[in-house]
Structure 1
Amino acid sequence: MNLPTTLSKPAWTFDELCAVLGLPPATLELIARQEPAPPFFLLGRRRYILQADALEWLQDVRNARPWVPRKNNRR
């Protein structure tokens, strides 16, 4: 049975999210404990996050803390 591509992987594990973001697990653990935290949930012993929730959380973080270059950069 072939599922549509939108439903083939609706959630990422904690480790997959680390790989997608390019962050070590310890850093993502710290981020996940801060407010507003991304909405993780447990299935068995593993933590998951819906891809839609992860993308929405990243958008919220991007809008809340935009990157601004430093004015005294000596490069």
Structure 2
Amino acid sequence: MRNNWRRPRGMETVQINAYVSPDVKARLDAIAAAADVPQWVVIEAALRSGTPGPNGIPLEWDLVGPNGETLPIELKKSA
């Protein structure tokens, strides 16, 4: 991986820590290696992809719950 991937000086960032399935980690590694970019570039590109629905979740995303069920992507009212 290149070491010249840098953000502009002073750009705000925050740290994340996430546990993912081994197959997801392998896919992240493969995409980053194929594109010759750091993992954060792949993660940011993935999260910025898709057409946001009315609730902000990309319409193309299938979110899966803890038991493997597809979660309904619907607009929920906030209090």
State the TM-score bracket (shorter-chain normalisation).
Answer: 0.3 to 0.5
Give TM-score, length-normalised by structure 2: 0.32
Identify the structure with the greater helix proportion.
1
Greater fraction of residues in strand = 1
Q: Which has the higher contact order (CA 8 A, sep 6+)?
A: 1
